[in-house]
């Protein structure tokens, strides 16, 4: 009898895990089902581009998984019963249950309104394709000189503000950040960020914690009101709520508690990857919710599942960070190199070379979904890849 592996969610981590499992295990031994509500892959790291009016390349799963043996089930997950080892789904034909022997939970995360009044009613999000398309349509209807306020000074906020400002130069774009602009970056990184924001004409409100959102403005903790015809909310992510409704051990944020192989500490036949998992990285610090964290967790989980099913050696490669890649529109970028635990070092790559580099990273992430055959990113392999990417960036500019 085939061992039934069900993967929930086909974002970066779920799709990588499914493809990697298909390449690690024999079809006669396992049946791999990938459950997802949409028929094509969503490049979440490009949602700010979609919102700004750019069209993205379609990536249908039927092509990405052709010949792999992975069965795509188009359905929405409505519940998980870890005691009965079943998944409740609903599709065009109605509700159904799927049984599993091993479950890979990769339902990821969505935007986080942080409980701020008015956010759900008046703000736009770019954590999903529907959200990005909704914002795209709204931006297209704005008149010249109207203000777009991006709330959140993290990577998503920086990318959204610069992308919109570059694509829509007739709009007045502003960024409201709880702290200083890019205050986690190196001095050179912060300097370049300010230079680009100035060139694009983006107004920056620093140390401006937003405590309320209205139809035409946002309110800050110090009593100020910032005019906003459109508010874009980018203050972090909240995990999918289904895990918290199960018997799985989860954190206060709803993330599934896992060991070093991404295996649930409470139900050993369940693995969690990406934003859905609470994974400890270098320095005993939780990995941040990001594509940079998600890919390695998917590789780790897939290799651990394959090893346990075949009697092989369990993976033991530490997950670490190497850089933070930030697009600042289509012409500018910032690559901030970091320590293993994600703290900025002095080295940065800026300008057009960084923009090309970031584009290569995005293309590589999408390619990795359909080709999850490489080993876990050891430091030597990653440094080699970084140099190759930098060389490609230089060639593209030659």
How far is the C-alpha of 359 from the C-alpha of 45, rounded, in Å? 10
Give the count of beta carbons closer than 10 Å to the beta carbon of residue 205.
18
Q: Which of 189, 185, 216, 219 is nearest to 205 (CA)?
A: 219
**Which pairs from 328-331 meet CB under 8 Å and 24+ separation?**
328/158, 328/159, 328/162, 328/193, 328/196, 328/355, 329/162, 329/163, 329/165, 329/166, 329/167, 329/196, 329/200, 329/355, 330/163, 330/166, 330/355, 331/166, 331/355
How far is the C-alpha of 172 from the C-alpha of 76, rounded, in Å? 39
What's the whole-number average pLDDT of the chain? Answer: 93
In which residue ranges of the chain is CATH 3.50.50.60 found? Answer: 3-110+237-310, 113-233
How far is the C-alpha of 160 from the C-alpha of 158, rounded, in Å? 6
State pLDDT tens for residues 201-214: 999 999 999 999 99
State pLDDT tens for residues 355-382: 999 999 999 888 888 776 544 444 444 4
Average pLDDT for 292-311: 95
How far is the C-alpha of 43 from the C-alpha of 364, rounded, in Å? 11
Between the CA atoms of 63, 65, 69 and 70, what dihedral angle is there, to the nearest 10 degrees?
-120
Contact indicator for 106, 243 with CB cutoff of 8 Å: no
Mention the CATH class of domain 113-233. alpha beta
pLDDT of residue 383: 46
Strand 123-124 and strand 230-233: the pairing is parallel
CATH 3.40.50.300 fits 3-110+237-310, yes or no: no
Average pLDDT for 135-156: 97
In which band, very low, low, confident or very high, does the pLDDT at 316 lie, cut at 50, 70 and 90?
confident
Q: Which of 48, 254, 213, 249 is nearest to 115 (CA)?
A: 213
pLDDT of residue 365: 85
> What residues have CB less than 8 Å from 41, skipping those under 6 apart?
10, 15, 59, 60, 61, 64, 366, 369
State pLDDT tens for residues 261-280: 999 999 999 999 999 999 99
């Amino acid at each position: 009898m085939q061992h039934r592996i069900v993967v929930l969610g086909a974002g970066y981590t779920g799709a990588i895990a499914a493809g990697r499992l298909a390449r690690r295990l024999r079809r006669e031994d396992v049946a791999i089902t990938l459950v997802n509500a949409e028929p094509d892959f969503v490049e979440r790291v490009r949602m700010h581009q979609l919102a700004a009016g750019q069209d993205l390349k379609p990536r249908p799963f039927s092509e990405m998984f052709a010949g792999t043996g992975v069965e795509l089930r188009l359905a929405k997950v409505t519940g998980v019963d870890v005691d009965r080892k079943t998944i409740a789904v609903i599709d065009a034909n109605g509700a159904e249950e799927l049984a599993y022997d091993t479950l890979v939970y990769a339902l990821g995360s969505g935007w986080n309104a942080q409980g701020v009044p008015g956010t759900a009613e008046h703000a736009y999000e770019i954590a999903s394709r529907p959200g990005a398309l909704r914002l795209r349509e709204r931006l297209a209807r704005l008149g010249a000189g109207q203000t777009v306020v991006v709330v959140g000074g993290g990577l998503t906020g920086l990318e959204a503000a610069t992308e919109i400002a570059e694509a829509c130069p007739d709009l007045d774009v502003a960024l409201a950040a709880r702290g200083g602009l890019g205050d986690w970056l190196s001095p050179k990184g912060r300097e370049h960020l300010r230079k680009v924001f100035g060139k694009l004409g983006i107004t920056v409100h620093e140390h401006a914690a937003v405590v309320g959102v209205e139809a035409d403005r946002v309110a800050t903790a110090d009593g100020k009101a910032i005019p906003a015809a459109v508010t874009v909310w980018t203050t972090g992510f909240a995990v999918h709520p289904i895990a918290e409704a199960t018997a799985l051990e989860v954190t206060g944020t709803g993330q599934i508690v896992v060991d070093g192989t991404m295996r649930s500490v409470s139900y050993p036949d369940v693995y969690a990857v990406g934003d859905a998992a609470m994974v400890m990285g270098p320095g005993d610090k939780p990995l941040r919710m990001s594509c940079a964290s998600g890919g390695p967790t998917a590789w780790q989980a897939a290799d651990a599942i394959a090893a346990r099913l075949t009697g092989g050696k369990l993976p033991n490669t530490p997950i670490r960070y190497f850089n933070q890649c930030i697009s600042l529109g289509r012409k500018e970028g910032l690559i901030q190199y970091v320590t293993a635990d994600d703290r900025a070092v002095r080295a940065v790559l800026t300008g057009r070379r960084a923009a090309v580099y970031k584009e290569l990273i995005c293309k590589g992430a999408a390619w990795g979904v359909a080709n999850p055959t490489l080993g876990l990113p050891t430091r030597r392999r990653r440094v080699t890849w970084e140099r190759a990417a930098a060389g490609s960036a230089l060639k593209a500019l030659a």
